[in-house]
Structure 1
């Protein structure tokens, strides 16, 4: 009976291998990790006392390091229940609540035809391998020897040689095989002018392409003639072969990955062979095209985080970027990619020959996560010295992140990009990196700026007020960290004169989505400093602190606090400028600007929670703090009586 496409995949996804195997074994709890699906037990296929039988529940495969038994849930039921393949499928389908499909005579006929074509392909494998030993293949053997592939390696990878002319077609038809089936298998083609069919592979080293079940489904060919139209040639798509849904060296790589080797995706046949020969057995390659969605799904079925190894030239980087764009919408929790970019001008074989397998392993250990390569693509070689350029960067990254369908992954990507953006534009925590690349240092805590040292207002409580507003902002965000991203641009620009406040601000900006704000801040500044912040009376009565997690209340509190802080520092700036203008003649413009700044500050500071008795009417009828009014009048007197009028 033939099963419809996708049925077995659905069955395997619904079946827990550890539950199936658990009916026959007793798990070793000391060695097993159930949370990760990493289970160990004595092997049920041979007598032993140690736990050498390993089940990887997430990948759906088992392997015994003693007797080397391996397989999936279906093969396990076949072996332990003494049933054939279809009976095992029926048992598992019944347990998974799936209905077995009705027998389809046409599907059975199609399966029989596919089996017949696969048989023809196997005969082609044998013919090409025998041809490699003939005199006509001397050049091919020399080439393979120069690439370090001896007879054992040639046998391992079933390398062969397709002679010039139509030798394969003549060989197969001589065995009584229908010429049309040779064409249908992709081994020959019929000219449009009606002439006799000809071999597709001629004068080439051949690489058999096998499906995960081990059946030969097509060939790749490497031309020996340097003037050939195509250096590498793949077979056409047939009933057996879909190049976008298969991988070279798929079956052996899956087995090696199941034993713990990293899954590597190389560019071509010879790259795979070089890496496998060097000990990296879990290596595959796409078949002459860029990686497709179906191939990505195949890769993720083998390993959670395949490593894409590409040449370090521009073409390799372009290929990496195409893979990123393809993979972003497909990302799922625990499924991602990492990237190895080889030194420019070297492929894996060159690197291994020059520096050994250790050099390749070092690159694999330093493989870049996908988000870092995405960031590099948008920032490398760019200068962000204007708001417009920064905005363009933000838009490009935002557009890419929005293609991620999984909301959790999208959030984490956003946080990672935010962190990298922060480090790009704020290379030092003690300064703000401006658009022109010049760092502006913050003033030491409590030290008036040079331009205001002689100002009477420098002796007032402005610094205390600023400190309180900063404390309210930090405490509100610690209690409701969900708003950090929303007010991040304001938080980045907030200059904290208190070093503890500055450290808390930096910790909040670096906080990852879903992180514990209190723990992160306490780790950065110490628990005592955090407690001191939360014990400030002005902070303890703040509604956003009394109701942590209330987003709307926190949003109102932050808007008010940022506004008051801006007003406070706006008045400071006006006073500083006025101080500079005292060197000339005072006029009404100076006093008007000071009065307007003071009243704007007063409007921002006035709220329902503050004591109205501390205010009196200013010159234009607005309320002004008495202490501030006294300092303000003193400044006006200084302007009026220390300089002659016009």
Structure 2
């Protein structure tokens, strides 16, 4: 529906955003400034202890410096409550005491139709629950007793029963005034293709109501009592209310439990969720009879940044985990992770809890494996790698999988972890897409040229003019390579950081390759000689050779810190340049402060980080424009 101009602005002005958010968080009153409407709290969208979630009543805006969630009061309601836009507007209007504008005829008709469909599903839910108390449901009650579901659990989850009668529910709903077309549209009955009267979809089944995040009944799942039934479980069909790929069973209660600190557990079915809830694990959900979809995965992450996928340890559970790996990798990143629990073979959560108690489930949750472990297991378990071709095939599969991760930092950590696992399994090196290797460098340098011995004579290259960040980065990069050539024992400890240098100069790239693999190439030797001859780096050999191991490694570490900080600052400055064309927000300010602080620490490791970088704004801006403009060793050697 369309809203009149100014309606949303008036709505936001009437209700302070802190009042809306305050129902979901506990404000840190030491950090907050209530008089100014400046509020801080631990973020409700990801688990944390520090107050990095900021809310500003004057701007009507919130921002989390941890997970980057941001928006206004309507955005918060939609993210935290799972509401549609108009539903969030309606809820905020009620709180503000404002009358919702009258919808147009078509919008009013759609709203009225959905309201009537909800009335049908709620009436059906009540009817199913009543049927569970009848004589026809004796076998269903006995089954629930065998599964350990007491009367309180049955009541809590509103479990019902659909008798084995073709038209019982349809007739009952028609008696309540619902016409047949509405009953069919709600998914409670089906119309034969050949015509004729509608018939009930659920017959001879234990029925589980499925509710959305607002607690409204959108559909049902039914378990057949007949062991020979064609489908053991049957869900409502797709309707205007029910989309099985975009909802989760037990969504509302699970979200409330996560808000109280519980871990979100994703089980396979309704009975698994109920068993977990009975054992004290209230933050349990399940997909609705299908494999987890992308929409369901995003819905889980709106509840918790790291759900635990609890799957049966049988082959079907293993296959489900492998499919989920492919689904999750293109979506994963900071604040959107998964962990996996594989239950003992032949056991579901109910069996495990009955056999070993809730403590056994808690122990499994504490040992949940990250997504990268499941990826590695999928690609290696049951495989033999006794030939170069098989090893290359493994490398290609892993690279193709990791390449799907959109976040660069996450992708880098995956690469580091896969490299570590590969060495443990096979030894040797990790081959990247361009044929470069990352492996353990030799513990000591080769005699002669790579160890600092005589080199072929070449005319020294001219001194690099340090008149910009790019030249400064080149000098820092050269110093790192030269130190590693002089002290090759440092390569293994700093391998992952060295691989990220990615020199643009072909000779330097060859030298880096030689350092990482222990090779000795002509381009690498040329690069090393050029670095030794550079005027700015001329003192490096004597300086490094005069230091003990710890002092020399400290110099290398500081150079790498400075280089990474300078490159990160350049990337962030470019990003800020595009963002600053719009409205600057707290996120941009915070990122610029963090990158500047990192560069302060890199340039002066002994400097105390006071955390207050606002005292000299001009100096900060100058540092963002240019990282360093002086030589590393201050003075070049005299000729």
- CA–CA distance in 1 between the matches of 2:442 and 2:407? 44
Give the secondary-structure state (helix, strand or coil) at the position aligned to 1:217: strand
Matching of residue 124 in structure 1 with residue 124 in structure 2: yes
| Deviations 1:451-498, CA, capped at 9 Å, x for gaps | xxxxxxxxxxx846553389xxxxx999649999xxxxxx9xxxx9x9
Q: Aligned residue for 2:452?
A: 468
Asked whether the 8 Å contact 1:401–1:413 carries over to 2, the reply is: yes
- Cα gap change, 1:250/1:424 in structure 2, threshold over 3 Å: closer, same or farther? same
Equivalent in 65, 88, 92 of residue 88 of structure 1: 92
Q: Aligned residue for 2:413?
A: 412
- More helix per residue: 1 or 2? 1
- CA–CA distance in 1 between the matches of 2:417 and 2:406? 17
- Cα gap change, 1:207/1:564 in structure 2, threshold over 3 Å: closer, same or farther? closer
- CA–CA distance in 1 between the matches of 2:451 and 2:159? 75
- CA–CA distance in 1 between the matches of 2:221 and 2:371? 30
Deviation at 1:117, TM superposition (A): 0.8
- CA–CA distance in 2 between the matches of 1:610 and 1:402? 37
Give the secondary-structure state (helix, strand or coil) at the position aligned to 1:137: helix
Q: Aligned residue for 1:458?
A: none
- CA–CA distance in 1 between the matches of 2:129 and 2:141? 11
Q: Aligned residue for 1:321?
A: 322
- CA–CA distance in 2 between the matches of 1:369 and 1:220? 31
| Deviations 1:33-71, CA, capped at 9 Å, x for gaps | 668585599xxxxxxxxxxxxx9996989xxxxxxxxx9
- Cα gap change, 1:16/1:558 in structure 2, threshold over 3 Å: closer, same or farther? farther
| Deviations 1:485-513, CA, capped at 9 Å, x for gaps | xxxxxx9xxxx9x9x855x3332335598
- Cα gap change, 1:610/1:156 in structure 2, threshold over 3 Å: closer, same or farther? closer
Matching of residue 555 in structure 1 with residue 509 in structure 2: yes
Asked whether the 8 Å contact 1:415–1:513 carries over to 2, the reply is: no
Deviates more, 1:27-36 or 1:247-256: 27-36
Give the secondary-structure state (helix, strand or coil) at the position aligned to 1:329: coil
Give the secondary-structure state (helix, strand or coil) at the position aligned to 1:233: strand
Q: Aligned residue for 2:461?
A: none
| TM alignment of 1:505-516, pairs within 5 A | 505-509=491-495
Q: Which has the larger radius of gyration?
A: 1
Deviation at 1:410, TM superposition (A): 2.3
- Cα gap change, 1:426/1:200 in structure 2, threshold over 3 Å: closer, same or farther? same
- CA–CA distance in 1 between the matches of 2:242 and 2:532? 78
Could you state the TM-score of these two structures normalised by the residue count of structure 1? Answer: 0.61
Asked whether the 8 Å contact 1:564–1:605 carries over to 2, the reply is: no
Give the secondary-structure state (helix, strand or coil) at the position aligned to 1:206: strand
Q: Aligned residue for 1:527?
A: none
Asked whether the 8 Å contact 2:513–2:519 carries over to 1, the reply is: no
Deviation at 1:225, TM superposition (A): 0.8
- CA–CA distance in 1 between the matches of 2:268 and 2:130? 28
- CA–CA distance in 2 between the matches of 1:442 and 1:553? 19
| Deviations 1:210-245, CA, capped at 9 Å, x for gaps | 011111011100111111111111011111111111
Deviates more, 1:186-195 or 1:313-322: 186-195
- Cα gap change, 1:133/1:114 in structure 2, threshold over 3 Å: closer, same or farther? same
Q: Aligned residue for 1:134?
A: 134
Deviation at 1:423, TM superposition (A): 2.4
Point out which structure has higher relative CO (alpha carbons under 8 A, 6+ apart).
2
- CA–CA distance in 2 between the matches of 1:216 and 1:397? 43
Q: Aligned residue for 1:240?
A: 241
Q: Aligned residue for 1:291?
A: 292
- CA–CA distance in 1 between the matches of 2:476 and 2:163? 75
Deviation at 1:553, TM superposition (A): 6.8
- CA–CA distance in 1 between the matches of 2:290 and 2:310? 15
Q: Aligned residue for 1:580?
A: none
Deviates more, 1:31-40 or 1:390-399: 31-40
- CA–CA distance in 2 between the matches of 1:482 and 1:605? 12
Deviation at 1:120, TM superposition (A): 1.1
- CA–CA distance in 1 between the matches of 2:516 and 2:269? 58
| TM alignment of 1:51-200, pairs within 5 A | 86=90, 88=92, 103-165=103-165, 166-200=167-201
Asked whether the 8 Å contact 2:21–2:76 carries over to 1, the reply is: no
RMSD between superposed Cα atoms in Å: 4.9
Deviation at 1:2, TM superposition (A): 7.9
| TM alignment of 1:370-385, pairs within 5 A | 370-385=371-386
| TM alignment of 1:247-266, pairs within 5 A | 247-266=248-267
Consecutive unaligned residues of structure 2, counting only runs of 5 or more, are 33-39, 54-63, 81-87, 430-439, 455-472, 534-639
- CA–CA distance in 2 between the matches of 1:206 and 1:59? 41
Deviation at 1:425, TM superposition (A): 2.2
Deviation at 1:421, TM superposition (A): 1.8
Could you state the TM-score of these two structures normalised by the residue count of structure 2? Answer: 0.62
Deviation at 1:415, TM superposition (A): 2.3
| Deviations 1:125-157, CA, capped at 9 Å, x for gaps | 111111101111110001000101010110000
Q: Aligned residue for 1:207?
A: 208
- CA–CA distance in 2 between the matches of 1:230 and 1:57? 45
| Deviations 1:525-575, CA, capped at 9 Å, x for gaps | xxxxxxxxxxxxxxxxxxxxxxx98866743644687999648xxxxxxxx
- Cα gap change, 1:74/1:271 in structure 2, threshold over 3 Å: closer, same or farther? closer
- CA–CA distance in 1 between the matches of 2:517 and 2:258? 57
Give the secondary-structure state (helix, strand or coil) at the position aligned to 2:310: strand
Consecutive unaligned residues of structure 1, counting only runs of 5 or more, are 42-54, 62-70, 77-83, 93-99, 430-440, 447-461, 471-475, 485-490, 518-547, 568-599, 612-646
Q: Aligned residue for 1:388?
A: 389
Q: Aligned residue for 2:59?
A: none
- CA–CA distance in 2 between the matches of 1:483 and 1:194? 80
Q: How many residues align?
A: 460
Q: Aligned residue for 2:595?
A: none
Give the secondary-structure state (helix, strand or coil) at the position aligned to 1:246: coil
- Cα gap change, 1:199/1:481 in structure 2, threshold over 3 Å: closer, same or farther? farther
Asked whether the 8 Å contact 2:444–2:488 carries over to 1, the reply is: no
Give the secondary-structure state (helix, strand or coil) at the position aligned to 1:340: strand
Q: Aligned residue for 2:278?
A: 277
Matching of residue 367 in structure 1 with residue 368 in structure 2: yes
| TM alignment of 1:303-322, pairs within 5 A | 303-322=304-323
- Cα gap change, 1:444/1:606 in structure 2, threshold over 3 Å: closer, same or farther? closer
- Cα gap change, 1:557/1:251 in structure 2, threshold over 3 Å: closer, same or farther? same
Asked whether the 8 Å contact 2:28–2:41 carries over to 1, the reply is: no
| Deviations 1:328-386, CA, capped at 9 Å, x for gaps | 11223221111111111111111111111111111111111111110110011222122
